[in-house]
Amino acid sequence: MNGKAEVDEKQAEAVRKLFDGYIAGFGLKTASENAGLDIFHGSAGRMLRNTHYIGDEYYPAIIDRERFDKAEEIRTSRASSLGRIRELQDAPKPVADTRFTMPFVERKFADPFAQAEYAYSLIESEVEDNGSN
């Protein structure tokens, strides 16, 4: 309607109940069950972080920003107290073999795939497995 999604009021009420139950102190699974949602813990957690519920250019608001922020504050606090919040660390960059030697490749096969397989088999790395020369 008017280029926006339409709200299924029954489902919207279940979303509101999920947020309210979680804010009231229930765990994710219990809050979702009390809201009439048959979903897993992880799905309920994703719902609590879904910003579409506070509305945007396509989705009408189902809950207000205050309720969303309160649920996020509680979720973050619970995760922190359980040691589940960690600072993301940059993954170590893999060291790739970048120098190779290859002898002259003779034409041995008429089939281009067989010839390519033969040519690739001649490649030798000049870098040791541990990444040093």
pLDDT per position as a tens digit, 27-70: 999 999 999 999 998 999 999 999 999 998 889 999 999 999 99
- Residue 27, in any domain of the structure: yes
Whether residue 72 is found in the same domain as residue 29: yes
Does residue 90 fall inside a structural domain? Answer: no
* pLDDT of res. 129: 55
Query: Looking at the structure, do residues 62 and 102 belong to the same domain, yes or no?
Result: no
Classify residue 91: in a domain, yes or no.
no
Regarding whether 107 and 74 lie in a shared domain, the answer is no
Quick one: 114 and 57 in the same domain?
Answer: no
Q: How far apart are CA 60 and CA 47, in angstroms?
A: 16
Residue 102 lies in a domain: yes
The whole-model pTM stands at 0.62
123 and 69 part of one domain: no
Asked if 21 and 46 sit in the same domain, the reply is yes
Which residues lie closer than 8 Å to 98 by C-beta, 6 or more apart?
A: 127
84-106: average pLDDT:
77
Domain that holds residue 107: 97-127
Q: Same structural domain for residues 27 and 75?
A: yes
Instruction: Tell whether the torsion through CA atoms of 36, 42, 48 and 52 is positive or negative.
Output: negative
Please report which confidence band the pLDDT of residue 133 belongs to, taking 50, 70 and 90 as the band edges.
Answer: very low
Residue 32 host element (H or E): helix 28-34
Residues 75 and 121 in one domain: no
